[in-house]
Amino acid sequence: MAKRAEPASASASKALGLVLRARGFVVTQTHTTTRFTRRGVLQAGGLMLAGSTLAACATSPQAPIGNDQPITLVEAFRGERTGRGLFSVPLAGVERGFDARLVGTVGGNTLTVVEDFIFDDGEVQQLTWVFTRTGPFEWSGVRDDTVGTATVVETGTDIRLDYVADVVSRGETTRLGFSDIIYREPGNVIINEAVVTRFGIPIGTVRFEIRQT
């Protein structure tokens, strides 16, 4: 007998649990509770509802309406920057904040960005992007944790960055997809928003506000 395909809702729920464990959250089940509220998300069909909702989410962030601020990858990341970010899984009520310092240098057709992260729970990470210009408005990129090569496209008013990474947290590794949009807000604030996916299913978002120091 052929094995029945797993519903998208079940895949999304499994993905949600995997990424929460990888990001340092304890996901345990008892008769009445889990780390992210059995009553609200997992009880009485709530698991199916949460999974279905996640599966229906957009897999890439949308550009802000009316945005006309020009931006390029070099303008966004050359020099010293500081930022404040938030990783969020809204349906689970999970948030993980972080501060970051970025230093970007340009050499020929290469942009190197060193990122130092300090998470609110005390974890510290350093990752380095190396972007290489491949065309007038296109770049490729690799980072310590990327799987394959990231693609970067400059549209004039925003930057699209797509990649897959083996995210390491508290000794565990989880493969996640990231679809980023980077744009400029008034006051010269750079916004980096991302949709995070697991097995192609959206499970969370990141919002990162970057300022020049």
**Domain parsing of the chain, residue ranges:** 8-56, 73-212
pTM for the whole thing?
0.75
Give the residue carrying structure tokens 């006051």.
Answer: 187
Average pLDDT estimate for 45-64 = 54
User: In this structure, are residues 19 and 207 in contact, taking their beta carbons and an 8 Å threshold?
Assistant: no
Judge whether residue 200 has pLDDT over 60.
yes
Q: Find the distance separating the first CA and the last CA of the chain, reported in whole Å.
A: 63
Judge whether residue 15 has pLDDT over 80.
no
User: In this structure, are residues 189 and 209 in contact, taking their beta carbons and an 8 Å threshold?
Assistant: yes
User: In this structure, are residues 157 and 71 in contact, taking their beta carbons and an 8 Å threshold?
Assistant: yes
Distance CA 109, CA 97 (A): 33
Matching CATH number, 73-212, of 1.10.357.10, 3.40.50.10860, 2.40.128.20, 1.10.1740.10: 2.40.128.20
H-run or E-run covering 147: none
Higher-scoring residue by pLDDT: 88, 54:
88
Angle, helix 8-22 to helix 46-56, in steps of 10 degrees: 90
User: What is the pLDDT confidence band of residue 67, given thresholds at 50, 70 and 90?
Assistant: confident
H-run or E-run covering 69: none
- Which residues partner with 111 through β-bridges? 106, 131
3-state secondary structure of 100: strand
Q: What does the pLDDT read at residue 106? A: 98
Q: What does the pLDDT read at residue 17? A: 54
Distance CA 176, CA 178 (A): 7
- Give per-residue pLDDT as tens, 117-161: 999 999 999 999 999 999 999 999 999 999 999 999 999 999 999
